[in-house]
Chain A
């Protein structure tokens, strides 16, 4: 049976959970680094004719950067193994229970890896801008691609430890760039196509997380579809926000398997991570953790090509153009009794339109396979659940389906004589710059009953 989300084909091991986590996250990074050095050296060896001095330096620099990552990966791996061994002697951990303090160690190590990869990519940026020779640049690109994938694993490792992303943007990010960034982190990126148009922006603080979430789903799609087929990524506006759909043309997943993964995607806390790791499905867990953090809805379902479609609904709270969003949300909120698709709490249903709707997919969940039942009690997935993310604290997701929030009335809390009082700044000396003057002027104009 095909097992999707097989990030690092690891067989069943009886070692501790965290050792497995390290193996799954650091091992690919180290492997990628080794390939990087190999690539750099082979580029140097294969370059036709006499290679210019600067070019030699360029490639060697890249190789050294990669080597630094390899070394660090090994050092960290060994340190982790030692710390786990020590902890195991002190307190024998129960199955699936993290040893106290280890989480911090992982986050710390993940951050160091991130720091190194970040510097490596900065260096590559400088080198790529200087190199004009197509062959050398191709080699640099291969190193760049490997470094970008290493960064993804390092940042995922931090996610496992509960850390926030280190790369952040204060400006809204164009969604099309977010999608392309996710594609860049996938091994077979050339097979992935973004279907235009992709419009809109998203909040910069969640950029890195959303990129990794999508990368994990796209990677999964490319890995389980024949090499000659392409994977398409679409983004479209829906009532709840923006839906990103990743379609592959590979083999589908059996329904019980789909249900299991969807249950995990809906709520990571209800699934035994140990079982998951023994199956080698760390990718699904990472997707779930990222989605949960930002109130993102993720669902896997069969598509018309016989392959799989991953639907990711980015809630309105994550989108950049908030001002454009608000009128819609208020309008929908004020007419909750109008019925229609927005009246139901199952957010993604209006956007999919294919027979296996999320509601029906979830309704199959009450009969999970035995190992799932073992992981979570039988009442874990009631029929027609409202996913935790939909009712989450962020409040961004199901916003369209809920009645409008109570709105504050300006100055309603003040005693009557205090209303319309002027700020203290009126006592400033004449001629001095008064930053509140324009506001005072506008307030006065509004109070005069100007119909505008």
Chain B
């Protein structure tokens, strides 16, 4: 047993303190979305009032869906694991507040011309 060093006296401020709300509480422990979704699926608010009550995170997600956006974008903005963002968005789909569409063809990661253009663009940058 070593003596207590400086490392044990430090305090963790703000970001160092970590997130206040643990991700598992956001989805109440659920990890499987009730509606199939991909990382690049499009989500957009329907404008219809949600049936049932919303949790605070659902509110935030719904606001982010005001303009058409992707699941990945919502997850990044809410600083949530993508799987949890999917659960939250799927809840919103279930209450009729959000509509989802499969990823646009442009976003297909196996599209060779797109990948070649991307590669060319990156090479120009470098």
Residues of A whose CB lies within 8 Å of any CB of B are 75, 79, 108, 111-112, 115, 118, 121-122, 125, 128-129, 131-135, 137-138, 141, 144-145, 148, 164-171, 173, 176-178, 180-181, 183-184, 189-190, 196, 204, 207-208, 211
Contacts and interface: CB of A to CB of B under 8 A. Distances in A.
B56 interface: yes
Contact of A168 (B17, B24, B83): B17
A184 B25 contact: yes
Given A111-B4, A112-B8, A181 B22 contact: yes
Contact of B12 (A168, A173, A183): A168
Contacts of A178: 20
B52 interface: no
Contacts, number: 99
B11 A166 contact: yes
Interface residues of B, number: 30
A104 to B, nearest CB: 8
B25 to A, nearest CB: 4
B53 A167 contact: no
Contact of B14 (A132, A137, A170, A211): A170
A108 B7 CA distance: 11
Interface stretch (B28-36, B105-113, B115-123): B28-36
The 3 residue pairs across chains A and B that have the minimum distance between CB atoms = A167-B17, A141-B24, A134-B31
A132 to B, nearest CB: 5
Nearest to A189: B25
B53 A108 contact: no
Nearest to B32: A134
A177 B21 contact: yes
B12 A180 contact: no
A134 B84 CA distance: 9
Interface string B64-85: 0000000000000000011110
Nearest to B25: A184
Nearest to A112: B8
Nearest to B4: A108
Interface in B3-21: 4, 7-14, 17-21
Contact of A131 (B10, B53, B81): B81
Contact of A128 (B20, B23, B29, B53): B23
Contacts of B81: 128-129, 131, 137
Contact of B22 (A133, A145, A170): A145
B1 interface: yes
A19 B65 CA distance: 54
Contacts of A108: 4, 8
Given A181-B25, A211-B20, 9 more contacts: A79-B1, A125-B18, A135-B31, A141-B29, A141-B31, A144-B22, A170-B14, A181-B21, A196-B53
